[in-house]
A and B are shown apart, each in its own frame.
Chain A
Amino acid sequence: MKTNQVSNAFLPFLAPMLAIVAALIVGAFLIALTGVNPLHAYTILFRESLANYYGIGNTLTKMAPLLLTASGVLVGLRAGQLNIGGEGQIHMGGLGAALVGLYVHGLPMWIHIPLALIGGFLLGAIWGGIAGYLKAFRGVNEVITTLLLNYIALNIISYLVQRPMIEPGAASPFTPIISDSAKLPILMPGGLAHAGIFIGLIATMVLGWLFRRSPLGYQIEVVGQNPTAARYAGMSVSRTIMFVMALAGGLAGLAGAGEVMGLKHRLFETISPGYGYEAVAIALLSRGSFTGVIFTSLFFGALRSGANVLQREAGIPFTIVYAIQGLTVLFIAISLAVESNLLHRVSLRMNRLKPAGVKL
């Protein structure tokens, strides 16, 4: 029984791990094609992204927005909503933080930073909330609305940074630098990693706790798993969905705020190079677990920063590194499909005998 429990706890992570290994093996062939020794490349990849002062910083820098956005996607998934609007929500969040950081002056840091974060959260939440409203009260599929809202957000930002918000004489469309009092502190001297990662970790842990212990988390869970039962139990399904989408948007908004306040210190057109979409993959691969999101984000962050190192140090073309990332997602997806098939068969057998199925 005891060993069974151990293996049950380990089981959910087995498939993703095997998938990562498989992706690295196939990736090794691709790397070899470019004339580089794969072992050498992987040594660089992991040493530079996880075992090197600046590398860790770079990894954390990339992990922060991934973690926040993926947590948002996961919250949505818990309520049965697939939010693929992270990209737009990140940008709106960046806008919110930039507005507070640029146009509010004379505040001490301990007020200005939280205010700018709230600004980011709010605009992200509005962006997610629009999709939530349309789903909950108008029945419009959230996958479509969140996707389309991405384009609207990107175009709004594009307009703002080219016209009204552009820094006079800017060499490229971007805003002026935000006030020093709104900049997130740098974690490691000389590096780029900023306090955004703490915001991400705290938010994720609060969410995990929320879903484990609070009535709100319970309600979201019920709405996600069986809206009919939720209605029957007197819960407002529409309001829950709208709340969840706004929360998801807000979390992605925080990610955008972190990019503006911690990394770039100004608003750009492309503050997110697809973090919003990567977050969907991370959330799906994390198997509904907030702890899982932390580790998956770390892995994806490491892969991203490692990708840059591979280019710089081993001369491996960018496309190969992207192919490895893609392979990882593909293999994990395959392994999940295979595993759920296996689990289904196992549970068919175990049901009558030992109804201790795998918990979500």
Chain B
Amino acid sequence: MVHLRLEGITKRFGSFVANDSISLEVQSGEIHAILGENGAGKTTLMNVLSGLYQPDSGQIHLEGVPVHLTSANDAIQHGIGMIHQHFMLVPQLSVAENIVLGTEFGLRLNLRQKMEQVRSMSNRYRLQVDPSAIVGDLSVGMQQRVEILKVLYRGARVLILDEPTAVLTPLEVESLFIILRQLAAAGHTILFISHKLDELLNLCDKVTVLRQGQVVETLPIQSVTKEILAQLMVGRKVLFSLDKGIPNPGSTILDVQNLYVKDDRHLPAIEGVTFQLRTGEILGIAGVDGNGQRELADAIAGLRSVAEGKICLEGIDITEWSVRQRIQQLHIGYIPEDRQRIGLVMNLSIAKNLILKAFKQLPFCKNWLLQDSIIDAHAIHAIKQFDVRAIDEQVSVSNLSGGNQQKVILARELSGHPKLIIAMQPCRGLDVGATEYVQKQLLIERQRGAAILYISTELEEVMTMSDRIAVMYRGQFMDILDAAHATIETVGVLMMGEKVSKVLDTIPATTST
């Protein structure tokens, strides 16, 4: 039975058409993926479905009945529940309180009874959530289950999940999928928005690909491959195996000796890391998030002080150098993990963001004055060179898409031919096209002779890019492998903190996600 049917949904913003006559059908109990690049119209469509936007034309049908959704509340009345990427929970309250929040208007709140309701509901869907737990104490994965329970409690039959796996660990992703499959089996209809192709192939029954606000195609999952989906999404062929070129490593440029670094809470984050990095080489660092990668990158960039050990660049001991010294006297490019929080000043223009590290130096600053014309010319050049999609250099970066924001950072960090590039999660949150672009740029730098430290929690990304792979676990390098001989299985086991020799013969198939 067709549960949800969209008919010619069109949503315009001014003269811009965000959704152009979108039609699609979703069966009851189906897990339906909506796939598209950033800016393809996924979010707009979801906002139309959850009542935040009213379409300019077109009709939504629920179980054959045309409905008109005027607000998020209205949508949930009709059984459409949205689970946002950023949770809307009150961390100080218990699970049960969060779930009933906003639904009760009586004077008396029988919390015990509500708690029982939530508990039985949680058991019914096998969510294993303790209704009396305080939300702030729960893991991210658990909080997401609370969000799911919240919409179920409000009687949702259609669940929309907006990039739900972005915040989850691989294990949590696996259990989320189990839950979603159960919900589908129980007759719930699920719309799953993502641009992680592997996940879609793994989970969904059908996929609708959007491009530039239009439906490109809706296909059953069995009939597609990763390559086909990527091509439909981007509109051209995407290379999943990058042509890396022949590695041509030269002399050692970065020498890290027995490094110890503490984290923000003054607990040991890196404990005795030693490695060398040569020119023209990419050293990938794999590991589950929070095993010291952040502290390692910060320590090399000078943002975090070193407790013990030595960092040498081109034979110079820079362990005690300040960030400014490193920026002014060394050529280090640092692509930070969080571009919006660390790498950019969102309200400033592209031009102003491009001079973030060089604003006191020639040619941008002369006679104690910022040279606006030079700064702008520099920006115009960078926009062209790095293919930043923006009307002009005065646009504030907050108006750019994630991919274009990352390009601005690349333009800044790769300018001046850095000898060492630290790339921390450079492709996080980017769509296929942008990811490909970033990786290609880094490979060009490698060809030029830059040494690159490529840190990512996405195992496949590290595998694709690296010449050598270091696996980090609890602040230590488990091993440094030659990428040519490393397999996903070996690295995966090392990421769990187990020595390969011990477990090689017992690798179960499940360790790969």
Interface, chain A (partner B; CB < 8 A): 213-215, 218-219, 221-222, 225-226, 228-229, 231-236, 348-357, 359-360
Contact = CB atoms under 8 A, between A and B. Distances in A.
Q: Identify the 8 closest CB pairs spanning chains A and B, nearest first.
A: A355-B399, A234-B324, A353-B16, A349-B13, A234-B323, A234-B327, A233-B356, A355-B395
A232 B334 CA distance: 9
B336 interface: yes
Contacts of B15: 353
Given A214-B370, A234-B323, A352-B16, A225 B342 contact: no
A351 B402 CA distance: 13
A226 B324 contact: no
B18 interface: yes
A234 B348 contact: no
A233 B357 contact: yes
Contacts of B334: 232
A355 B14 contact: no
Contacts of A214: 368-370
B343 interface: yes
B97 to A, nearest CB: 29
A228 B264 CA distance: 14
A349 B324 CA distance: 40
Contacts of B14: 349-350, 353-354
B445 to A, nearest CB: 20
Most buried by B among A222, A234, A350: A234
Nearest to B53: A348
Given A348-B13, A352-B13, 11 more contacts: A213-B369, A214-B368, A218-B359, A226-B345, A229-B344, A231-B303, A232-B303, A234-B322, A236-B324, A355-B399, A357-B396
Contacts of A229: 341-345, 356
A86 B347 CA distance: 28
20 contacts: A214-B368, A214-B369, A218-B359, A225-B348, A229-B343, A232-B336, A233-B327, A234-B302, A234-B323, A234-B326, A234-B328, A236-B324, A349-B14, A349-B16, A350-B13, A352-B13, A352-B18, A353-B15, A355-B390, A357-B396
Contacts of B360: 215
A232 B369 CA distance: 23
B336 A235 contact: no
Nearest to A354: B391
B352 A218 contact: yes
B370 A225 contact: no
B173 interface: no
Nearest to B349: A359
Contacts of A226: 341, 344-346
Contacts of A235: 324
B398 interface: yes
A58 B160 CA distance: 64
Given A213-B369, A232-B343, A233-B356, A222 B348 contact: yes
B6 interface: no
Interface in B377-397: 390-391, 394-396
Nearest to B364: A215
B365 interface: yes
Interface in B291-308: 301-303
Contact of B400 (A236, A355, A359): A355
A356 to B, nearest CB: 6
A232 B326 CA distance: 11
Contacts of B18: 352
Contact of B359 (A219, A349, A351): A219
Contact of A215 (B336, B342, B359): B359
A352 to B, nearest CB: 5
B84 to A, nearest CB: 16
Interface of B: 13-16, 18, 39, 301-303, 322-324, 326-328, 334, 336, 341-348, 352, 355-357, 359-360, 365, 368-370, 372, 390-391, 394-396, 398-400
A225 B357 contact: no
Contact of B356 (A222, A348, A351, A357): A222
Contact of B341 (A215, A228, A234, A349): A228
A231 B302 CA distance: 10
B368 to A, nearest CB: 7
Contacts of A236: 324
B331 to A, nearest CB: 14
Contacts of B356: 222, 229, 233
Contacts of B342: 228-229, 232
A232 B338 CA distance: 11
A95 B18 CA distance: 62
Contacts of B369: 213-214
A353 B365 CA distance: 33
A222 B345 CA distance: 7
A86 to B, nearest CB: 26
Contacts of B347: 225, 360
Given A215-B359, A352-B18, A355-B400, A225 B346 contact: yes
A354 B390 CA distance: 9
B324 to A, nearest CB: 4
A348 B14 CA distance: 11
Contacts of B302: 234
Nearest to B389: A355
B391 A356 contact: yes
Nearest to B13: A349
B337 to A, nearest CB: 11
Contacts of A215: 359-360, 365, 368, 370
A355 B322 contact: no
Contacts of A213: 369-370, 372
Contacts of A232: 301, 303, 323, 334, 336, 342-343
Of listed B13, B15, B345, B372, residue having the most chain A CB within 10 A: B345
B345 A225 contact: yes
B481 to A, nearest CB: 30
Given A215-B368, A218-B370, A234 B357 contact: yes
Contacts of B372: 213
Contacts of B346: 225-226
Nearest to B398: A357
A359 B396 contact: yes
Contacts of A228: 341-342
A352 B37 CA distance: 14
A215 B370 CA distance: 6
B13 A353 contact: yes
A293 to B, nearest CB: 19
Contacts of B348: 221-222, 225
B369 to A, nearest CB: 5
B193 to A, nearest CB: 17
A351 B324 CA distance: 35
A71 to B, nearest CB: 21
A28 to B, nearest CB: 39
